[in-house]
Structure 1
Amino acid sequence: MRKFIKYSVRGILLLAVILAAVAFWKREQLTRLMAVNSLFSQEKIVNNFSNMDTLFLTRPLDRGDGEVSTLPTGNAATLPDATDDWIKTRSVTSLLVMKDGMIVAEDYFLDTTPDDRRISWSVAKSFLSALFGIVMAEGQIASLDDPVTKYAPTLAGSAYDGATIRNVLNMSSGVRFNEDYLDFNSDINRMGRVIALGGTMDGFTTGQSETQYTPGDKWQYVSIDTHVIGMVIRGATGRSIPELLEEKIIAPLGFKAAPYYITDGEGVAFVLGGLNVTTRDYARFGQMFLNGGRWNGAQIVPEDWVNASTRASAPTAADRISYGFQWWVPKGAIEGEYLARGIYGQYIYVNQPLGVVIATTATDKKFREAGISDQNIAMFRLIAQSL
């Protein structure tokens, strides 16, 4: 009996040593996994959204050697009375309003500051769409109706085999993908753990094997479609997304602070939601789109792509918000009214006829509840109409 106990104790001690060694060896991955599990906790979410570079692998984007392109300030606007309650209820962390190219309102909440580079979540999709339009205009991508496998051949045999570039831009790839953020085992949360553990996003994407619809037949919001757009751009140009975004958008716009991307273990940018930018620079990007893709006299994004990408073109249901090429078009939109939108309340709202851009960040844990998005859009419209 004593001998059994002695060997059992030795076994337990050996197992403890092995576990400790594994924990030390994989400490960075385990730290990131723990960060994912507490990323949206009430006591950490505001700080986390301003400091994603302390939680994940990242890649800084060089803003170039040019001067910061200053956003001019106009006469301060008095925002509607309802704005204050909306800011508190929706856990807004920043709100910046531009009218006719000038800042007329700007404020930061919950101890955030103008220098915080806030996580974009799916607002990043609209940045990638802009980059795609530039690359296509340069002739490196022939047609929206090319199959994605032409530029990303590793997708052959996957669920994306048969989908066109237009399909993934429109979120109508037909790929089966569970986007439920509240389901621990959903595809979107499994993807988050791939990022946390330093896995490969390309591998995760090529591993998608099931389709739910014929490509182009039905709109279904599938974030992994955006990664495929990134694969297509990389395949067509032979360059990384951060490198291209630095050169073609970040530097020309004169961003105030160098942005950064969350990356996977291979250094591939998390293009569907991992871009981190200051609120002023989110507004700057929106203003460039309001200007038809122009900034300081230079054409950054082709005007025809600005118009095409922000027009409702996806096969969405008639009673729902519409979708273009990685931009949203709200119900009842006037021509030139559209928005970029990310989970937890990140927005860039553009109203071209009224000359208004609104950039806002938030940590709204109720963002998925019915009617919340409509309430946010109604607030943006109220602000725009009040100026």
Structure 2
Amino acid sequence: MTSVHAPSSPPGAALPRQHLPDGEEFLMWPPCLQSHGYRIVDQLFATRTIHRGRGQPFRRGAEIGIDIPVGGQRLSLGQFMDGNNVSGLLVIRGDELVLECYGLGLRAEERWSTMSTVKSMTAMLVGAALGEGSIKSIDDPVVRYLPALRGSFYEGVTVRHLLTMSSGVTWSEDYGDRNSDVNRYSRSLAAKVPGGVLALMCGLQRAHPPGSAWCYNTGDTYLLGALLCAASGRTLADTMSNCIWQPCGMEFDAYYTLESDGGTEIGGSRAGMTLRDMGRFAQLVMNDGMHDGLRVLPAGWVEAAATPAHALPAGGAMSASRRALGLVAYGYSWWLDGSGGMWAMGHCGQRIYVNRAERLAVVQLAVYPEPRYASAHEPDRDARLRALVDELRRSA
């Protein structure tokens, strides 16, 4: 807590102060803390700014009117927003923004936690690194760029394996288990331990030969971001700013979370961005890495990212959401459905959908309750989101 000591007040006087949510519990917050905490991540963790571009305005089309078929009834947009606990919803069709709606008190200029949707964004920077030559091949060994991993079970792992969540190391992505690997990682971030995440990754064991099995691993994308920094000699925030944020005319500064004060960016979770700028990123992917006639990402990189690398197993991380959204495969840090859709997925309701063939992009920011806070009467929010996407596709 922080407080202000007024000169006229005696020592120890009860003064106004602001309580912040416990960052160590970040992945386990109830929805009431999520709706506050996701907009103040930069007050809880160390961060580094992704500098904005020239603020190029969207081309705005006529606002769409839509209702969503769910369980034999049709939900209005407002009912969808309320039922899905939505703080931000944005739809781009073709080259036009056709819906931009805010809830839960979120304002257009406020940044919201991306959660793991930033994994898919960081993966796009690998294409930029290949284009500039700082990475020679995605089949390069990880230890070529991160020699600190020599002697760990990341020896034999390649950049491709990190991109496709197939490093083969053991990892538990169970948000409800306080002792899971992902929660140990999260507590290290909250404590701002220098080198803490890298030490955690070096201590992991091997479950499968590299490349042989898919296992969702937030730590893999941390290493991918650290590798990009080592290869380019720049911070990850500067790379995102130089390669995407500024060329695409992003309107607001964003930020990456850091593993410690002044430390390495966390490439795979809890960055902070505005809804509109996340929409601009989705539009870049929808346009095959082009923005206003400028090639921002190398030709063919988005197509490579959208090519299935691994079929998704029946269980494991986000399995209920995967079923509801129809996700069947994983590419270069993008989830893929069976109808041409690419999905960036984030904890507790952060979703980006891109369908390049149909020229449609949808961004949802939300607060889904963790299972321990969900009642028996909770709706299937991802099924509702899928119904919204399908209705948008039908009405094109």
TM-score under structure 2 normalisation?
A: 0.83
Equivalent residue runs for 1:231-310 within 5 Å:
231-265=226-260, 266-310=262-306
Partner of 1:386: 395
Q: Are the counterparts in 1 of residues 201 and 219 from structure 2 also a CA contact under 8 Å? A: no
Is residue 333 of structure 1 aligned with residue 322 of structure 2? no
One-letter identity of the residue aligned with 2:232: T
Residue aligned with 1:95, SS: strand
Equivalent residue runs for 1:93-242 within 5 Å:
93-199=87-193, 200-242=195-237
Q: Deviations over 1:243-264 (max 9, x none)?
A: 1111111111111110011112
Tell me which of 298, 321, 328 is aligned to 2:328: 321
Unaligned runs of 5+ in 2: 1-18, 69-74, 315-322
Percent identity over the alignment?
Answer: 30
Residue aligned with 1:175, SS: coil
Name the CA distance, whole Å, in 2 between partners of 1:328 and 1:106: 24
Q: Relative to structure 2, which stretch is displaced further, 114-123 or 205-214?
A: 205-214
Name the CA distance, whole Å, in 2 between partners of 1:127 and 1:384: 24
How far did 1:382 drift?
Answer: 2.0
Question: Closer, same or farther in 2 for the Cα pair 1:203/1:33, shift >3 Å?
Answer: farther
Name the CA distance, whole Å, in 2 between partners of 1:201 and 1:209: 13
Between structures 1 and 2, the one with greater strand share: 2
Is residue 36 of structure 1 aligned with residue 24 of structure 2? yes
Partner of 2:55: 68
One-letter identity of the residue aligned with 2:299: E
How far did 1:234 drift?
Answer: 1.7
Partner of 1:77: 64
One-letter identity of the residue aligned with 1:383: L
Partner of 2:13: none
Question: Closer, same or farther in 2 for the Cα pair 1:184/1:193, shift >3 Å?
Answer: same
Question: Closer, same or farther in 2 for the Cα pair 1:130/1:202, shift >3 Å?
Answer: same
How far did 1:43 drift?
Answer: 2.7
How large is the RMSD of aligned CA atoms in angstroms? 2.2
Q: Are the counterparts in 2 of residues 216 and 315 from structure 1 also a CA contact under 8 Å? A: no
Question: Closer, same or farther in 2 for the Cα pair 1:363/1:371, shift >3 Å?
Answer: closer
Q: Are the counterparts in 2 of residues 367 and 373 from structure 1 also a CA contact under 8 Å? A: no
Name the CA distance, whole Å, in 2 between partners of 1:271 and 1:367: 26
Q: Are the counterparts in 2 of residues 62 and 259 from structure 1 also a CA contact under 8 Å? A: yes
One-letter identity of the residue aligned with 2:353: Y
Unaligned runs of 5+ in 1: 1-30
Is residue 311 of structure 1 aligned with residue 307 of structure 2? yes
Question: Closer, same or farther in 2 for the Cα pair 1:69/1:185, shift >3 Å?
Answer: same
Question: Closer, same or farther in 2 for the Cα pair 1:256/1:347, shift >3 Å?
Answer: same
Question: Closer, same or farther in 2 for the Cα pair 1:149/1:373, shift >3 Å?
Answer: farther
Residue aligned with 1:105, SS: strand
How far did 1:239 drift?
Answer: 1.6
Name the CA distance, whole Å, in 2 between partners of 1:201 and 1:100: 44
Q: How many residues align?
A: 352
Residue aligned with 2:115, SS: coil
Name the CA distance, whole Å, in 2 between partners of 1:377 and 1:205: 36
How far did 1:87 drift?
Answer: 2.3
Q: Are the counterparts in 2 of residues 217 and 315 from structure 1 also a CA contact under 8 Å? A: no
One-letter identity of the residue aligned with 1:34: D
How far did 1:206 drift?
Answer: 4.0
Name the CA distance, whole Å, in 1 between partners of 2:143 and 2:26: 37
One-letter identity of the residue aligned with 2:41: M
Is residue 45 of structure 1 aligned with residue 34 of structure 2? yes
Question: Closer, same or farther in 2 for the Cα pair 1:157/1:315, shift >3 Å?
Answer: farther
Question: Closer, same or farther in 2 for the Cα pair 1:377/1:367, shift >3 Å?
Answer: farther
Name the CA distance, whole Å, in 1 between partners of 2:23 and 2:140: 39
Q: Are the counterparts in 1 of residues 116 and 269 from structure 2 also a CA contact under 8 Å? A: yes
Residue aligned with 1:173, SS: coil
Q: Deviations over 1:319-370 (max 9, x none)?
A: 962110011101x223xx2111101111111112221111110011158999
Larger Rg: 1
Between structures 1 and 2, the one with greater helix share: 1
Question: Closer, same or farther in 2 for the Cα pair 1:33/1:91, shift >3 Å?
Answer: closer
Partner of 1:14: none
One-letter identity of the residue aligned with 1:323: Y
Question: Closer, same or farther in 2 for the Cα pair 1:112/1:267, shift >3 Å?
Answer: same
Name the CA distance, whole Å, in 2 between partners of 1:93 and 1:116: 11
How far did 1:283 drift?
Answer: 0.6
How far did 1:316 drift?
Answer: 3.1
Tell me which of 342, 345, 348 is aligned to 1:344: 348
Name the CA distance, whole Å, in 2 between partners of 1:372 and 1:109: 16
Name the CA distance, whole Å, in 2 between partners of 1:215 and 1:326: 16
